[in-house]
Amino acid sequence: MKLNLRLQGQYMLVTFSLAVVMTLTSAAVHLWLSSNHSERLLQELTIQNSKAFRTELSKRASQMSTYLAEAMFDPLYMYNLEEAGYLIEPLLQMEELEHLVIFDRKGNVFHDGDPSLQHLGKPLNFAVDVNQVITNGKPIHMFRESSLVVVRPIRAADETIGGIYLEMSLDKVDKEISAMASLIEATNERSQDALYVGVLAAAILLLSLSGLMAAIISRRWSRPLVQLTKQAESIGRGDFKLAQTMNSEERQDEIGNLTLAVQSMATKLEHRTQKISHLAYHDALTDLPNRTRFIQHLQGTIKSYPATSFSVLFLDLDEFKVVNDNYGHDSGDFLLMRIAEKLTRSAREITNDHPLTMISRIGGDEFLMLIPHLKTTEDVDAVVKKIFLAVRSPILMENEELVVGGSIGVARYPQNGKTAEDLIKNADIAMYRAKADGKNTHMVFTPKMFKSVVHRANIERELRRSLSDLQQFELWFQPLVCLKTGRVMGAESLVRWRHPSWVLFLLVTLSRLPKKRL
């Protein structure tokens, strides 16, 4: 019959049976060695647990700040407080998060999660030199006494437009470390108490064999502690599999309970890490891959299948702002989710669920698509036609059928670019050209479009500069003459821009520039 004894019962049974051969000397040596060895193992396990918990928190904070640095570029660049608040709202629900602030290139608060925006434009009130991050473009990652602080710049290419201040409390980590240390210490104290009482009681009769048997018991105690130390180290490295391989059913005592507790902790940490990783590479609203994941997939496709022809499609919904204004942002979100479902279903049907196919929402009402095996212009036209049919199919919203359109820009690989950045940029340029040609259509990128974009950017830049010198603008009056009588009936006032180096710009030339860019 197998006895399921706790540590104290196992020790008392063994030491009582072998007490006849113990000596006072071996008992004293054993007590000293066992105590010293247990304290050393306890100290090492506590240190490793502390490192593991802090390393995991640091990794999560780094992933969170990296995700925000990429996701916040457009809202900060376009000064879109609403989108910024929408992106950081889910993260503010984390109980470990103490402060999350998005700041601009001057170190002033852009968004801190407060709906009232009462700190907007105010300097950061934290003891961190954010100017160093903005100037050098390098993140700050440091532990304080009670928190972890991460300051990461928001960059695109070589330009830093702001940054993210992320502070996570160490209270929960410290509590978990303290609880783990208390559990281990309590187990060790109970084991040590049982060891002392048994050895001292048995040493009176049988002292010669007490050292050997106590060493065996001590080894049985230390073995699971060593395994737990290795387990804590593996958790710190992000390897959660070792925690699941430890069999706690072999022990029905406190160490078995401790093993179960560590396994439960590892499982929760693994699920939390997977959730954060998913948020870092997927859109929170539609669950589609985000821009970062799309670029990774596109780069991997180019590297692994350089001879495969495919196209990158850039879709921008037309008049989406009207839907938000008329129906509200909740309805706008509902519309985006339905559009995402339509695009995903349409892409799978078009490509027969090809593994290289990917649909991504990169922000707002913009989507990126990778469609393989489009070798000719006719192939592109046929695919775009099917996508338009899917997008324009009616959507039932608030008892109304809503139809939305879109403009699509197409960049073909390798004709229109051989890198992920070039393909996305050129597809974006082609999309804007499609919008300029009347919307609800598509355009395939050509080099001429790029020259037009460069020329347009030069005009915009010079126009911004000229606003500081209003003498470059002239007020002209154009008479309105009656053709029957020849009399002047009135005049039309017009503004002309006389650039120092260029010809006189007509009003129609300036009116083509987007007002939101000026």
Which residues, in sequence order, are CB contacts of 212 under 8 Å at separation 6+? 18
Strand 400-402, strand 395-397: pairing: antiparallel
Going 63 to 66 to 70 to 71, the CA torsion angle's sign is positive
Higher pLDDT, 198 or 329: 329
Segment 180-201 shows an average pLDDT of 73
Segment 361-365 shows an average pLDDT of 88
CA torsion, ordered 454, 456, 458, 462, to nearest 10 deg: -170
| Residue-level pLDDT at 361 | 92
Segment 285-297 shows an average pLDDT of 92
Is residue 199 within 8 Å of 17, Cβ to Cβ?
no
Segment 187-206 shows an average pLDDT of 71
Q: How many CB atoms lie within 10 A of CB 506?
A: 11
| Residue-level pLDDT at 516 | 41
Q: Side by side, which strands form the sheet with 488-498?
A: 473-481, 488-498, 504-505
For the cut 60, the answer to whether the pLDDT of residue 369 exceeds it is yes
Instruction: State how far the Cα of 339 lies from the Cα of 291, in Å rounded to an integer.
Output: 17
Going 76 to 77 to 78 to 83, the CA torsion angle's sign is negative
pLDDT tens-digit readout, 431-486: 888 887 877 889 999 888 877 766 776 777 677 777 777 777 888 888 889 888 88
For the cut 60, the answer to whether the pLDDT of residue 2 exceeds it is no
For the cut 60, the answer to whether the pLDDT of residue 349 exceeds it is yes
Confidence grade of residue 291 (pLDDT, cut at 50, 70, 90) = very high
Which residues, in sequence order, are CB contacts of 85 under 8 Å at separation 6+? 111, 113, 115
Segment 261-281 shows an average pLDDT of 74
Q: Identify the top-confidence range among 115-129, 338-352, 475-489.
A: 338-352
Confidence grade of residue 301 (pLDDT, cut at 50, 70, 90) = very high
pLDDT tens-digit readout, 220-244: 665 666 666 666 666 666 665 655 5
For the cut 90, the answer to whether the pLDDT of residue 54 exceeds it is no
Segment 199-211 shows an average pLDDT of 66
For the cut 50, the answer to whether the pLDDT of residue 396 exceeds it is yes
Q: Poorest-confidence range of 21-30, 91-100, 231-240, 503-512? A: 503-512
Confidence grade of residue 315 (pLDDT, cut at 50, 70, 90) = very high
